[in-house]
Amino acid sequence: MQHELQNGIHDGRVDWVDYAKGFCIIFVVMMHSTLGVEAATGQEGWLHHVVEFARPFRMPDFFLISGLFLAKVIDRDWRTYIDRKVVHFFYFYLLWTAIQFAFKAPGFIAEQGVMGVVHAYLMSFIEPFGTLWFIYLLPIFFIIVKLTKRVPWPAIWLIGAALEISQIHTGWMVPDEFASRFVYFYTGYVAARYVFEIAARAQAAPALAMAGLVIWGIGNGLLVKAGVASLPFYSLALGLIGAVAVVTISALLAQHDVFKPLRYCGRNSIVIYLAFFLPMAATRTVLLKTGIVTDIGTESVIVTAAGVIGALAIYWAVRWTPLKFLFERPAMFWLVPDKKKQEPRLAMQPAE
């Protein structure tokens, strides 16, 4: 891995990894934006087809990338590991759950009463709230991988694959999403060297890589259209192959560092993930009430762009103010002080 890490790096970050994370976070915002607009209007727009195309690989790739650098830090002492991999995400989960509740409380009170809101908030400690389930689940993955570090990796991978194929539906998000996503996170951890090799080979033979992407795109689209992409075995295969496809696309983009805004989105993916719901919801409300845009697909695109750009705008507005705690964990909440004197740490660095 070290050879690959010597190329395509900006500020200690691997470019193609940030491109991959950029793709994932935009697809996540697009999904929430599109489904939200369609639910509010009772209509389906043309962007819905893009959302469905990305469904098989959108979150698998996000989790695979999240596990990609775990081997570099898994041998840290437990105190440091828990600080970086549990407390870190727990801080942001608690903070942004409170923020989301603050914005949604008036509507909840009208529907459920004050006690209903209190109950919903307390339940958020057990059942992840809204869009924040990803950072709720990551610490669980980090802990389990460290606890099972000495277990032969094929055994853990096969268990994860079996859970995904079983398509468990308990009605509770944590066990259901754990079963669906752990295999991808673990694959990123145990297969990191091969993932970097795939990226390097794509850059060495771009024409062949693009041909492979065309074949993948056609196959993925046909299986989604046929309605089998979410079936057992199909979903696991499409998730893993789709993650490889995103890695390949990202490696090609990083080779010439085109579409730098996408790389920037990946660099700040956690910022977008935490804050996109605010500008997304506000923009959707304005568009629906004013009727300025009538095409559902176009409206979904505008809401998606507003979610991404709006989240970054919030970050830009607060990063040098006392409100920077929204995206930077204050020193008082560190178990082990960070010795590096760098720019403010965000919630997810590629090297972590």
Residue 247 CA to residue 64 CA, distance in Å, equals 10
Q: What is the model's pLDDT at position 22? A: 95
Mean pLDDT over residues 129-138, rounded? 91
Per-residue model confidence as pLDDT tens digits over 246-271: 999 999 999 988 789 999 999 999 99
Per-residue pLDDT tens for 153-170? 999 999 999 999 999 999
Confidence of residue 342 (pLDDT cuts 50, 70, 90): very low
Q: How does DSSP assign 209-238, residue by residue? A: HHHHHHHHHHHHHHHHHHT-TTSTTHHHHH
Residue pair 40/288 in contact by the 8 Å Cβ criterion:
yes
Helix (H, G, I), strand (E, B) or coil at 9: strand
Give 296's pLDDT tier (boundaries 50, 70, 90). very high
**What pTM was estimated for this model as a whole?**
0.91
Reply yes or no on whether the pLDDT at 54 is more than 90: yes
Helices (H), 42-132: 47-54, 58-66, 78-82, 88-123
* Tally: H helices and E strands in the chain: 16, 2
State the number of CA atoms in the 13 A half-sphere of 294 facing the CB.
0
For the stretch 35-47, pLDDT in tens is 999 999 999 999 9
Average pLDDT of the segment spanning 124-129: 90
pLDDT class of 13 with cuts at 50, 70, 90: confident
Average pLDDT, the chain: 91
Candidates 221, 185, 269; CA nearest to 50 is: 221
Structural element, H or E, at residue 290? helix 277-290
For residue 206, give the nearest of 241, 161, 173, 254 by alpha carbon. Answer: 254
Give the tens place of pLDDT for each residue, 170-187: 999 999 999 999 999 999
